[in-house]
Chain A
Amino acid sequence: MTKTYSLVRSLVVGGMLALVVASCDSDPSGPEPPGETFDRSEMLARYGQDLILPAYAALQQSVAALQASASAFTAEPTVAGLEALRAQLKAARLAWQDANLFQFGPAESVTLRAALNTYPADVDRIEANVASGTYTLGTLDNRAAVGFPALDYLLHGLAATDEEVVAAYRDAPDAANRRAYLQDNVDFILNATEATAGEWAADGGNYIGTFLSPENAGTDVGSSLGMLINAFVLHYERFIRDGKIGIPAGVRSAGVPRPTATEAYYAGYSAELALANVRAVRRLFLGNDRADAAGTGLDDNLRALGAGDLADWIEAEMDEAIAALAALNDPLSVQIETDNDAVLAAFTALQDVIVLLKADMTSILGITITFQDNDGD
């Protein structure tokens, strides 16, 4: 939508408004001064500047550190190096939980989520790639052989003891290939992250400028808020509730649990990642930054529209979901096998939030999900 168009739009609507107001000028109260109008641009600025850019910056930083650790480890595989690398992997995966909510714009064109975090990892494919030594990591075929889940397997899943894992990178016949694959995969993660962060950056692709431009400050499907909400609600529904909890718990496989489908199956901190992700959703809703400092968020938007109860309720339901996730023990795969009911309870708690986000919140905010014509059925 161009500026001219929105000006024309304003003039026509204004004219209509003037007509209506003029014809009703006997109304004793008259139109009220637009006093406390909520400024959606301010909220978008909060999201763009204080949540999204820092989330990508933190991800980029931790992935860069991951790459440094990986280089050190592949140069000289040691147990200490492996431990350092594993710690960096976990840090990066946690940073990812803050950044994965924004799968629109640059992240969508880079297909960042699929590149970084398609799981469960395809172990056969990874081993075939290692054995052959020839592969292109960005292809669709290799989706489940790259990213964090592949590192999960490569660093945690090769053998029972640390020494044996190190040996796989040092002494095994295919050690050189395996080192190369590890390094290539980390480079691949860094490239995808940098591509996304670079597109967002004001001194790069300046998507932040697009995100904050007045033309995109509406609520239709192509607007910044529309994309943000559609993206994070979809992520919450399919990649948190389903991907992290529901699918491993068997909700989508005719009731048969699939513990190996957990996010960090080999490292065993899947529940922790899920918890971090839902906390990030809560912060996003409240407009809180990574340090959890308060700011203008969707809750304030709802409040300004007179739906403060809804904001409170969503927050309360999110807290319940967080509590249900916090009650789960890692490794999540073991929890699923021993006490799946707690996992299913967490699934239900996560579900309760979705109804409010997808039906009530989008309805109050006037967010649309499609470009198609609509006559407001």
Chain B
Amino acid sequence: MRKLLTAQTSIAPLVVFRALFGFIMAVSVLRFVLNGWIYELYVRPTYFFTYYGFDWVVPPGEAGLYVLFGLMGLAALGIMLGWHYRIASVLFFLTFTYVELIDKTNYLNHYYFVSIISFLLIWVPANRAFSLDVRRHPGLRADTVPAWTVNIFKFQLGLVYVFAGLAKLNPDWLLDAMPLRLWLPAHAHLPLVGGLLAEPLTAYLFSWAGAVYDLTIVFFLLWRRTRLPAYLAVLAFHLTTALLFQIGMFPYIMILSTLIFFPASFHEALLDRLRVLWSRIARRPAAVPRAAVSALPVPFRFSRRASAALAVLLTLHVVVQVLVPLRSVLYPGHLFWTEEGYRFSWRVMLMEKAGYATFRVRDPATGRQWEVANWEYLTPNQEKMMATQPDMILQFAHFLEDTYRQQGLEDVEITVEAYVTLNGRRSRLMIDPSVDLTAVERGLRHKTWVLPFAEEQDRWISRR
């Protein structure tokens, strides 16, 4: 235990991790801006689905958003270069997380992952070598750090994989190869492999291979003798998903992050090469490796008080990280259907869920009834995401209630007819259409107005 937590270990893996993470984040921010998503996701919508308890998080206006993303990009570069590192890491965590909290329509597990990693980076001395901070203040330089500062990231990565793997151990994934059976044939037009992707058997192979990969990869990465083939598997797996699915930067983030499993010698060699390369570019003699100057490596140690505080913080973090993905067991009903405890649990690629929600309004004062044109208030993506997620349906109903109140309709009743198809099953009603949603409170308690999932519901596509 001491070896894993407090023993001194080379700083190199942490430094490489920091630089690569900062780099890929800078790329991500740039890509987001260049794709026009600031406008698309945070300027164009007039309504935002906030997270429960975070209603105070609102988009700071178009100019404000560009400033926010500018700061985020600078902070990412700061992390990469180790430049005002402490400020940069705090700033990146705050700006990134703030933007993610604006609208749950855009929730992605990998955004949550980025928030967590950037939060952890705040607390570790990842700028104590190979950084602009050390260049400015050589006294900051350290060669070794407490082992936990590296291992916490391995733990976090392992957690993501294992939970993602456990989530795949469900009948839809294993017995019906859903949703891959729906997603893979979409690539049937590709040359060479198109025909194979259209085969149901391929979906089964991918499903089972994916589950085995997620459940075991971290152990193979940890074990020295399997590490290299395991990393090749990481490359193959994530590149395949990158090419087949619209999942953005996530595969590349994982490909770079998992390098942290390699030994210190690998990272030291990498840094030495970079130093040599830099000296050639800068036409300056390479900095003399520390070992050549002094036989004793300089350790970094947290003060006694900081150690105590960090011990509490990290213990809490680990407990929360283990428990939060498990919270879904506290809710009755089918998780994929109710999505109670679904987010923040590393459940990825598990559902092909689509729906159509029609909101009916009744004004008791006049007895008049009508339907809502959702698209007058929501973007197509918001409408699609809302149609399958009960908490968003409730939020939208409350928003409609407020909208009508502003129009002078004091007490309308709002019901919803929401048909949802899950993993190829015939669509059916998800919400009790007789429940007046304006009388339902928001919250984390079990949603009794969500109709039970019908296990026996036929699929359009039968099992082979």
Contacts and interface: CB of A to CB of B under 8 A. Distances in A.
Interface of A: 6-17, 19-21, 23-24, 29, 31-32, 34, 37-38, 40-41, 214, 217-220, 238, 242, 246, 250-256, 302, 305-307, 309-310, 351, 354-356, 358-360, 362-366, 368-377
Contacts of A16: 236-237, 239-240
A242 B374 CA distance: 12
Nearest to A253: B370
Contacts of B432: none
A255 B369 contact: yes
A313 B108 CA distance: 34
A375 B108 contact: yes
24 contacts: A6-B190, A9-B190, A16-B237, A17-B193, A17-B197, A24-B205, A37-B194, A214-B191, A218-B189, A238-B375, A251-B370, A305-B185, A305-B461, A310-B460, A358-B356, A359-B354, A359-B387, A360-B460, A363-B421, A371-B35, A373-B108, A373-B247, A373-B250, A377-B353
A369 B380 contact: yes
B419 interface: yes
B381 A370 contact: yes
Contacts of A12: 239-240, 243
Contacts of A13: 187, 190, 193, 197, 240, 243-244
Contact of A359 (B182, B183, B186, B420): B420
Interface stretch (B135-143, B300-308, B343-351): B343-351
Contacts of B366: 255
A236 B384 CA distance: 17
Contact of B198 (A20, A34, A351, A368): A34
A37 B427 CA distance: 26
B196 interface: yes
A351 B247 CA distance: 32
A355 B351 contact: no
A373 B191 contact: no
A21 B243 contact: no
A358 B351 CA distance: 16
Contacts of A246: 371
Nearest to B40: A372
Given A29-B201, A375-B109, A256 B368 contact: yes
Contacts of A34: 195-196, 198-199
A141 to B, nearest CB: 21
A359 B461 contact: no
Contacts of A251: 370-371
A69 B149 CA distance: 82
Most buried by B among A252, A366, A376: A376
A359 B421 contact: yes
A362 B354 CA distance: 8
Contacts of B239: 12, 16
A187 B248 CA distance: 47
Interface string B81-92: 000000000000
Contacts of B199: 31-32, 34
Contacts of B248: 373
B191 A6 contact: yes
Given A10-B193, A377-B353, A255 B368 contact: yes
Interface in B42-65: none
Given A10-B193, A11-B192, A363-B352, A17 B202 contact: yes
B381 A372 contact: yes
A20 B419 CA distance: 37
A37 B198 contact: yes
A306 B462 contact: yes
B156 interface: no
Which of A6, A7, A15 gathers the greatest number of chain B CB atoms within 10 Å?
A6
B373 A242 contact: yes
A375 B251 CA distance: 11
B205 A20 contact: yes
A189 to B, nearest CB: 27
Contacts of A307: 424, 460-461
Contacts of B278: none
User: Which 4 A-B residue pairs are closest in the complex by CB-CB distance?
Assistant: A34-B195, A373-B248, A255-B368, A366-B186
A238 B461 CA distance: 29
Contacts of A377: 107, 342, 351, 353, 385, 388
B186 A37 contact: no
A374 B198 contact: no
B186 A376 contact: no
A32 B201 contact: yes
Contacts of B40: 372
Contact of A255 (B107, B349, B370): B370
A18 B464 CA distance: 22
A41 B189 contact: yes
Contacts of A20: 205-206, 209
A369 B110 contact: no
B188 interface: yes
A365 B243 contact: no
B205 A360 contact: no
Nearest to A359: B354
Contacts of A370: 380-381, 384
Interface string B369-397: 11101010000110011011000000000
